[in-house]
A and B are shown apart, each in its own frame.
Chain A
Amino acid sequence: MPTELLLAFAVAGTFVLYSIFGGADFGGGVWDLLASGPRKAEQRALIARALGPVWEVNHVWLIVGLVLLFSGFSRAFAVLTVALHVPLTLLLLGIVFRGTAFTFRTYDARGDLVQRRWGLVFSVASVISPVLLGMCVGAVVSGRIRVEGRVVVSGFFAPWLTPFSVAVGVLALCLFAFLAAVYLTAEADSEPLREDFRRRALLSGGAVFLAALGVLVLAREAAPRVWSGLLHAPFALALHAITALSAVATFVLLWRRRFSWARVTAAAQVGFIVLGWAASQYPYLVVPDVTIQAAAVSPNVLRLLMVAIAVGAALVVPSIVLLLRVFEARPPRT
């Protein structure tokens, strides 16, 4: 496989991992906002406990994806940051407020009012950020970002302010909320709490289905390239089949209260949706003017980046496994 394809695959991989890990963190914020019922406080405490040790790490996938994009496909990065300047800036504000509010809430544990205010900032930012992220993805796949030479000619609003982009944003929000709810069923340490999130998982799973349907309907008009990619790309149908299977499996497992397995299939479902998106826009990085091959940097730089990825993986993967194992086994409640 040519090196630029390998690297493109690595970039897609970081997006998959960011969705599976970082996405669930956004979802946690959504459920923090929507906490309700008699166990409102316990739900929020569970979310805070589950996020605390890992959210900084989960956030790094975004940075790694970004760095690989600008190191390996510099031209595409420049195009995207010009065309999506506005939503990316708003997304950044969301990320800033989300991260700092969560930390301030955790490390300044006094006064319910202060806690609630930071909690509100955290959860509102958690809702807005995934929508913006999805809108950027929607703009990229819709083919409305137009480039001539190195110049973006499609303006700074038109590509991402469309019903289709908004629909992709909503889909991202529903997906992340769904993922978080499924994860939290497995993290919960009491039966009623578990049932709370089981109900939320089933409901948001339904919302994912509806949002995906909406995106699909709009895609035919708004993103013809992806529409045909969804149906005709070589691996697309296989990827969709796996996605559909994981979705059904997650529902069945949730229904039968097999929460640890539901977590795996839900992660697979989200991962394959992201991969399906990536496959459907192949060979374009920015549909329809920038291809992977055209944006790729010189071969020796690509090779070096592959070395960096290998070294990074050798250091990072065992460390993450260690982190997850340390916080996997929950001590008995005190």
Chain B
Amino acid sequence: MDDLLYARAQMGLSLAFHIVFAAAGVALPVLMVLSDWKARRTGDADYRLLSQKLAKGTAILFAVGAVSGTVLSFELGLLWPEFMGQYGEVIGFPFSLEGVAFFTEAIFLGIYLYGRERVSPGLHLFSGVMVALSGAASAFFVTLVNVFMNNPTGFTPTPTGPTNIQPLVAMFGPGWQYQTAHVLLSCYQASAFAMAGIHAFVLLRHPGSAFHRKALAVALPLACITALAQPLVGDFLAKHTAEARPEKLAAMEGLFETQRGAPLSVGGLPDEETATMPYALEIPRALSILAFGDPDAEVRGLKEFPRENWPPVAKVHLSFQLMVGTGSAMALLALVTLVLRWRRREWPSGPRMMRAWLLASPLGLVALEAGWMVTEWGRQPWIIHGVMRTSEAVTPVPHLAAPFWTFTLVYLFLGLVVAFLLARQVAGTLPGREADDAH
């Protein structure tokens, strides 16, 4: 691998790692506050324990998210100094607002975690709400930066850098509504599915556990709502992409030839050399309908664009398939669960449904990572689409293999430790085990 690829790999790895904790940092506080609120309303000890467990989980995940986010903010410059040196001023504003959100999140998390015995119940709950709101705001502002990189506006590019800069225009680039909504939903969805899966797992072994049934009942509504809303928002985003970034949509779909009444390809392995996609199942006219709402609409293929501007088609297509596939599976499970909930008037907890939720548990995170890869690979070879190539932005520092492997090992180690710690938190709630002391 050359240094550019190492730099990209390090950035990609850091984002892939951070995004898990960032998603948890957005969603877990919501679940934590919900259980806390239920505990206060009902006086139920299980909900109280649940909110304490979720608070511990939030604390662990937030700490890892905070440090990996710090790494990212440095890496913007350490790996892409030309990008930050020239365009830092264009996209600095959303980053600054994200800094403010990060601040309030850390402050109120401190009060929530350590202040249970020191502040009034109202202030305590309020702190939890502030943590949840700040987390959402952080994700919102950071996503705006990604929107800018995909659809840059608000400046005039010149060979020496941007002029005539309007940061507020740059901040709300075209399609910002769809992408921010898509990202925020994915955070809640991934966390809620993961949490539901964990409690489904325990319920399979200890079907009677009241604590885990209640915990499941906290996670399932959020999981079901987000899983059903996400395909709708995704559809809006895809339509926007079809208009604004046709070559990205073509790569997502593995479409090489421009055609009217384009089919939707399910599966398939795009081959850039021959510009074909073997092994795909084609649904006639479906892509034209999905992209433009018209069975005869023309969808532009990759061949209309210069070869050197193509994203890596196979990677983008496969990630996209993975995202859509897992998203559909989750939506289907949500639908079945909601129907059962409506017919039986309680959240399903039978072994078959529990196995389904256990299997679905990692899907939210898989979809989140896959979706992120779609947007990052789909933007290549540009760091700012149409304005600056990734190869122009990379640092001149040599031997980038060293930091790449270092951070890879560090993230691997931290990931294992966090998984181990969270497993121990859950183990502490198993029937027959004493609930350990909470903060």
> For the complex, is A231 an interface residue (Cβ under 8 Å from B)?
no
In the complex, which residues 414-439 of chain B have their Cβ closer than 8 Å to any Cβ of chain A?
414, 417, 421, 424, 436-437
Is there an interface contact between A150 and B102, defined as CB atoms closer than 8 Å? no
In the complex, which residues 299-324 of chain A have their Cβ closer than 8 Å to any Cβ of chain B?
300-301, 304-305, 308-309, 311-312, 315-316, 319-320, 322-323
Across-interface contacts of A88 in B (CB, < 8 A): 74, 78
Complex: A60 Cα to B93 Cα, angstroms: 17
In the complex, which residues 57-75 of chain B have their Cβ closer than 8 Å to any Cβ of chain A?
59-60, 62-64, 66-71, 73-74
Q: Give B436 Cβ to nearest chain A Cβ, in Å.
A: 8
Beta-carbon nearest neighbor of B88 in chain A:
A74
> For the complex, is A64 an interface residue (Cβ under 8 Å from B)?
yes
Give a binary string over B253-297; 1 marks a CB under 8 Å from any A CB, 0 the rest.
000000000000000000000000000000000000000000000
Residue among B76, B87, B88, B398 with the most chain A CB within 10 A? B88
Q: Give A105 Cβ to nearest chain B Cβ, in Å.
A: 11
Residue among A68, A85, A315 with the most chain B CB within 10 A? A85
Q: Which of these, B104, B118, B410, B436, contacts A315 with CB under 8 Å?
A: B104
> For the complex, is A261 an interface residue (Cβ under 8 Å from B)?
no
Q: Give B388 Cβ to nearest chain A Cβ, in Å.
A: 13
- Contacts known (A104-B60, A312-B103, A316-B100); A74 close to B74, Cβ less than 8 A: no
Q: Which of these, B71, B93, B102, B114, contacts A53 with CB under 8 Å?
A: B114
Is there an interface contact between B107 and A57, defined as CB atoms closer than 8 Å? yes
> For the complex, is B37 an interface residue (Cβ under 8 Å from A)?
no
Across-interface contacts of B73 in A (CB, < 8 A): 63, 66-67
Is there an interface contact between B70 and A59, defined as CB atoms closer than 8 Å? yes
Give a binary string over B398-422; 1 marks a CB under 8 Å from any A CB, 0 the rest.
1000010010001000100100010
The B interface is mostly helix, strand or loop, or mixed, namely helix
Is there an interface contact between B403 and A89, defined as CB atoms closer than 8 Å? yes
Complex: A258 Cα to B87 Cα, angstroms: 50
Stretch at the interface among B165-173, B196-204, B301-309: B165-173
- Contacts known (A57-B107, A298-B165); A64 close to B99, Cβ less than 8 A: yes
> For the complex, is A218 an interface residue (Cβ under 8 Å from B)?
no
> For the complex, is A245 an interface residue (Cβ under 8 Å from B)?
no
Q: Which of these, B87, B398, B414, contacts A100 with CB under 8 Å?
A: B414
Give a binary string over B109-131; 1 marks a CB under 8 Å from any A CB, 0 the rest.
11101110111000000000000
Across-interface contacts of A327 in B (CB, < 8 A): 110, 114-115, 118
Is there an interface contact between B59 and A103, defined as CB atoms closer than 8 Å? yes
Across-interface contacts of B166 in A (CB, < 8 A): 300
- Contacts known (A57-B110, A85-B78); A304 close to B63, Cβ less than 8 A: no
> For the complex, is B92 an interface residue (Cβ under 8 Å from A)?
yes
Beta-carbon nearest neighbor of A109 in chain B:
B437
Is there an interface contact between A300 and B165, defined as CB atoms closer than 8 Å? yes
Across-interface contacts of A85 in B (CB, < 8 A): 78, 395, 397
Q: Give A327 Cβ to nearest chain B Cβ, in Å.
A: 7
Across-interface contacts of B60 in A (CB, < 8 A): 103-104, 107
Q: Which of these, B67, B108, B111, B421, contacts A99 with CB under 8 Å?
A: B67
Beta-carbon nearest neighbor of A71 in chain B:
B92
Is there an interface contact between A56 and B89, defined as CB atoms closer than 8 Å? no
Across-interface contacts of A331 in B (CB, < 8 A): 117-118
Across-interface contacts of A54 in B (CB, < 8 A): 110
Pull 10 A–B residue pairs with CB atoms less than 8 Å apart, ordered by A.
Answer: A59-B66, A63-B70, A82-B396, A92-B71, A97-B410, A102-B63, A103-B63, A156-B398, A312-B100, A319-B103
